[in-house]
Amino acid sequence: MSSVPSTGDAKSSPSRTKQAAGRGPRSTAGTDVAVVLGTRPEAIKLAPVVLACRRRRMRTTVVLTNQQPDLAQEALGCFGITPDISLPPRGRRELSETLGEFLTQLDTVLRNLAPRIVITQGDTSSALAASIAAFHRQIPIVHVEAGLRTHTIEEPFPEEAYRQALARFVTLHCAPTQDAARNLLLEGIPAWRITITGNPIVDAFRWTLRRSRKPSVELPRPYVVVTAHRRENRGERFEALAAAILDATELRPDLHWLVFGHPNGWFSEAARELLRHARVRFMPPQPYDVFLRILAEAEAWVSDSGGLQEEACCLQKPLLICRASTERQEAIEVGWCRAVDPSARASLSAALERLVLFPWQGNPAARNPFGDGHAARRIAQRVRSLLTSDRSRRPVANAA
């Protein structure tokens, strides 16, 4: 198997960039780099990349699809970034409707902007639509957080299918870990298209935690944080999770449970009985910096989120992953995360009991598997190199 280079200059971090460096909107004339994002996780992970590109005097335009309009804009605001272009907000749509609308609108945006490179992140409808639109316009694509795989097309749904499909269009894959890079090599991606950068969630985490604010309301202590939103868990799995948490509330009378809402609202619908419990509090979505403070002061977490697996390793907190499979095995290997299939009710109850009574610990001395906080710098360096190479000026179809 071919080896994959890791771009390694880590002398400084985008987390030291002054907040003013990201202020916008700014002129989009002569755009070098268009950064397309739509959700809060995309905004959090791409904000350090935007700042790092602008520090290197690349003309960088932020395009917001408004997949999660309020949450994404709030997250960008934590870094002093205002979108330069925003697509019209929309209500809840079917997946195909969302993807089709984004593809049509982003094609128009890219036609007018004519950027030399498009940067996307992750596995969302915004990322897939942006990548297809850029491919059609023969614009090189840089994919941040490339190579994550569960190898089960329905888990998570539809994200696993989106990221596998998206990989076929990408010019430069910025893999967060060696495992992610290996996945891409096994899929036939040439090694020269892959670089191991780390995950910019670590950059964003370090930037934000230092500036985090306390929540506006007093929280009961001690507490466990609960988040749940995955489509594949909708229905019986969410109901099983809510019932298992309700049972777990009886194990420790001193322990409180903070259940955080999500725009899709599916878990809240399944957890009505749980949310009536005296020691369970429903929490609306919080600004990212406030949410990090809440996470940092929690005793443990329960979630089906992908990003929280990375943040658990940053904060060194025990996390029970309520998913049948995870694309972030590194979080399990260092010991801070454990996974359980929420459809296996006995296993779920046993895992929650362990979390509440005997929380597991990872290795506090272990290196964070998701990086050292310098991912954005490495990504920006590679983007700058791509801009100055012949490959940034020839059609993607001919770049191999």
CA 49 vs CA 10, 201, 316, 372: distances in Å: 14, 10, 24, 15
Active-site residue (options: 26, 59, 137, 231): 231
Catalytic residue among 234, 262, 281, 338: 262
Of the CA atoms within 13 Å of residue 112, those in its CB half-sphere come to 10
What is the C-alpha to C-alpha distance for residues 18 and 194, in angstroms, rounded to an integer? 30
Long-range contacts of 334-342 (CB under 8 A, 24+ apart): 334/362, 334/363, 334/366, 334/368, 334/369, 335/360, 335/361, 335/362, 335/363, 335/366, 336/312, 336/360, 336/361, 336/362, 337/309, 337/312, 337/313, 337/362, 342/233, 342/237, 342/238, 342/240, 342/241, 342/304
Q: Are 342 and 237 in contact (CB under 8 A)?
A: yes
Is 229 known to be catalytic? yes
Catalytic residue among 145, 289, 310, 330: 145
Q: Is 145 a catalytic residue?
A: yes
310 belongs to the catalytic site: no
Does the annotation mark 231 as catalytic?
yes
CB 126 within 8 A of CB 42: yes
Segments of the chain assigned E as strands: 33-37, 60-64, 85-86, 117-121, 141-144, 172-175, 194-196, 223-227, 256-260, 280-283, 300-303, 319-322, 337-340
Three-state SS at 121:
strand
Of 229, 237, 256, 293, catalytic:
229
Residues composing the chain: 400
Q: Which of 74, 84, 159, 327 is catalytic?
A: 159
Residue 390 is a catalytic residue: no
Return the bridge partners of 320, or none: 302, 338
* Cα–Cα distance, 214 to 70 (Å, whole number): 20
Pick the catalytic residue from 32, 84, 123, 327: 123
Active site residue 136: no
Q: Which residues are catalytic?
A: 123, 145, 159, 229, 231, 262
